[in-house]
Structure 1
Amino acid sequence: MAGRNTVGRGLACVAVAAALLAPGVAAAKDKINLVLNWVPTADHSPYYYAREQGWYEQAGIELTIESGKGSGVSAQRVGAGTSDMGIADMATALLAKGKGANLVAVMAVYANSPQGFYWLKSSGITGPKDFPGRKIGNPPGDASRVMWPAFAKQVGIDPNSVSFVNVSPQAKVPSLKSKAIDITSDFYNEHDLKVREFGDDLGFLPWRSMGINPYGNAIIVNGDVLAKKPELVKAFTQISQKAFAACVKDVGPCLKALLASVSGLDEPNQRDQWTRIKELMRDPTTTTTGLGMFDAARMKADFEMVKTYFGLEQPFEVETAYTNRFLDPSITMTAP
Structure 2
Amino acid sequence: MTALSLACIGAQTGPAAGETATPTAIQFTLDRPLDASDAPFVLASTRGLFRAENLSVATNIATGPADAIARVASGSSDLALVDINVLMRFRDKADAAPVKAVFVLFNKAPYAIIARKSRGVRALSDMEGKTLGVADGDFSIWFWPALAHQNGIKPAGVKLAKFSPAVREPMLSAGQVDAVNGFSYLAGVNLRDRGVPADDLTVLRYADYGCEAYGFALIVNPAFAAGKPEAVKAFLRAAIAGTRLAIKDPAKAVDDVLTQMEGGTRDLELARLRAVIGDSILTDEVKRSGIGGIDPARFARAVEQLAEDVKFRVKPAATDIFDDTFLPASSGRLIN
**Could you tell me the TM-score, scaled by structure 2's length?**
0.79
Deviation by residue 1:250-304 (Cα, 9 ceiling, x = unmatched): 2344222211111211112222222222222123432232222222221222233
Deviations 1:221-263 (A, max 9, x none): 2233222322221111111111111221223442222111112
1:156 counterpart residue number:
154
Q: C-alpha displacement at 1:159, in angstroms?
A: 9.7
Letter in 2 for 1:166: S
Gaps of 5+ in 1: 1-12
Counterpart of 2:98 in structure 1 is 102
Secondary structure at the aligned position of 2:256 is classed as helix
Residue 240 (1) aligns with residue 239 (2): yes
Whichever residue aligns with residue 295 of structure 1, its letter is D
**Structure 2 Cα separation of the partners of residues 244 and 268 of structure 1:** 20
**Unpaired runs of 5+ in structure 2?**
1-10
Change over 3 Å in CA distance of 1:308–1:88 after alignment to 2: same
Structure 1 residue 49 displacement after superposition: 1.2
1:7 corresponds to: none
**Counterpart residue type for residue 164 of structure 1:** K
1:300 aligns to what? 300
How many residues are paired up? 315
Q: Give secondary structure in 1 for the equivalent of 2:262.
A: coil
On the 8 A contact 1:78/1:222 being kept in 2, the answer is yes
Query: Where does 1:71-150 land on structure 2 (aligned, <5 Å)?
Result: 71-99=65-93, 100-125=96-121, 127=124, 130=127, 134=131, 136-138=133-135, 140-150=136-146
Which residue number corresponds to residue 34 of structure 2?
40
* Residue 255 of structure 1: aligned partner: 254
Q: Look up the SS of the partner of 1:256 in the other structure.
A: helix
CA distance in 2: counterparts of 1:312 and 1:83, whole angstroms: 27
Aligned to 1:178: 174
Structure 2 CA distance for aligned equivalents of residues 303 and 237 of structure 1: 25
Corresponding position of 2:203? 204
Q: Alpha carbon RMSD of aligned pairs, Å?
A: 3.3
Aligned to 1:66: 60
Alpha-carbon distance in structure 2 between the residues aligned to 1:163 and 1:201: 21
| SS of match in other structure, 2:220 | strand
The equivalent residue for 1:331 is 332
1:5-33 per-residue CA deviation (whole Å, 9 max, x = no partner) reads: xxxxxxxx99x9669949xxx82632323
Return closer, same or farther for 1:134/1:77 CA change in 2, 3 Å cut-off: farther
What SS does the aligned partner of 2:103 have?
A: strand
Q: Which has the larger radius of gyration?
A: 1
Cα distance in structure 2, aligned partners of 1:149 and 1:285: 25
Residue-by-residue CA offset, 1:54-101 (whole Å, 9 max, x unaligned): 332343433222334444543444345443222222222222222235
Cα distance in 1, alignment partners of residues 247 and 57 from structure 2 = 22
Deviation at 1:115, TM superposition (A): 0.9
| Contact 1:107-1:218 within 8 A present in 2 as well | yes
- Residue 41 of structure 1: how far off its partner (Å): 1.6
Which residue identity does 1:105 align to in structure 2?
A
Query: Residue 225 of structure 2 contacts residue 232 of structure 2 at CA under 8 Å; is this kept in 1?
Result: yes
* Contact 1:259 1:265 survives alignment (8 Å): yes
Separation (CA, whole Å) in 2 of partners of 1:206 and 1:257: 28
Cα separation, 1, equivalents of 2:253 and 2:199: 32
TM-score, normalization by structure 1: 0.79
Matched, 1:218 2:217: yes
Contact 1:131–1:162 (CA under 8 A) maintained in structure 2: no
Counterpart of 1:264 in structure 2 is 263
Taking a change above 3 Å as real, the CA distance of residues 226 and 312 of structure 1, as seen in their structure-2 partners, is farther
Q: Is the 8 A contact 1:116 1:185 kept in 2?
A: yes
Distance 1:179 1:78, change over 3 A: farther
d(CA) in 2 for partners of 1:177, 1:124: 14
Match of 1:167 in 2: 165
Question: Paired residue for 2:26?
Answer: 31
